[in-house]
């Protein structure tokens, strides 16, 4: 019976060692799995931090872009106002030039008419003066002829 018990004990001891070996293997696997999972968790934390930093950087970039966009919109609005003002000035100046050209054309046509009328009047006056001078010349010539005739008679 002792031997039987000893064999049972040996068997139990053997089984216990087998179980211990199996448990040690399982424990090592679990430890390995745990280390692997800790590494994965560490990698995920690093990835989350990188993603968070990227998100923060993108958010900052987005704010800069939005600020730049607002600034660009304001500049565009100011440039549009300036353009509209310049277009208005251009139209005003163009209309003023057209009016001046029309005035010049009107004045030129009026002056030309006046000059023609003046020239015609001056020509009539000149012709009248010429006629008067011709008449005076004719009168003088007749007077000279009369004097010559009287002078001839006296001699």
What pLDDT is recorded for position 118?
74
Map tokens 């000279």 to a residue: 144
DSSP structure class, residue 155: -
pLDDT of the chain, 155 residues: tens digit per residue: 888 888 888 888 888 888 889 999 999 999 999 999 999 999 999 999 999 999 999 999 999 999 999 999 999 999 999 999 999 999 999 999 899 888 877 777 777 777 777 777 788 888 899 889 989 998 888 888 888 888 777 66
C-alpha–C-alpha distance, residues 97 and 103, integer Å: 10
| Sign of the torsion formed by the C-alpha atoms of 11, 15, 18 and 20 | negative
| Sign of the torsion formed by the C-alpha atoms of 46, 47, 49 and 50 | positive
DSSP structure class, residue 44: H
Token couple for 9:
């004990």
| Sign of the torsion formed by the C-alpha atoms of 104, 106, 110 and 116 | positive
What pLDDT is recorded for position 121?
78
pTM of structure: 0.43
C-alpha–C-alpha distance, residues 53 and 56, integer Å: 5
**DSSP character string of 95-145:** HHHHHHHHHHHHHHHHHHHHHHHHHHHHHHHHHHHHHHHHHHHHHHHHHHH
| Sign of the torsion formed by the C-alpha atoms of 138, 140, 144 and 146 | positive
């Amino acid at each position: 019976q002792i031997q039987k018990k000893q064999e049972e004990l040996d068997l139990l001891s053997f089984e216990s060692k087998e179980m211990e070996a199996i448990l040690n293997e399982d424990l090592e696997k679990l430890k390995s799995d745990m280390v692997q999972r800790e590494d994965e968790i560490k990698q995920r934390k690093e990835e989350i931090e990188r993603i968070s930093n990227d998100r923060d950087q993108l958010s900052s970039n987005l704010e800069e872009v939005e600020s730049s966009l607002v600034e660009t919109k304001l500049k565009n609005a100011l440039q549009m106002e300036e353009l509209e003002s310049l277009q208005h000035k251009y139209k005003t100046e163009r209309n003023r030039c057209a009016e001046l050209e029309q005035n010049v054309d009107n004045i030129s046509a009026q002056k030309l008419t006046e000059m023609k009328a003046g020239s015609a009047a001056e020509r009539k006056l000149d012709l009248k003066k010429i006629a008067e001078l011709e008449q005076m010349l004719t009168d003088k010539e007749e007077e000279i002829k009369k004097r010559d005739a009287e002078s001839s008679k006296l001699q």
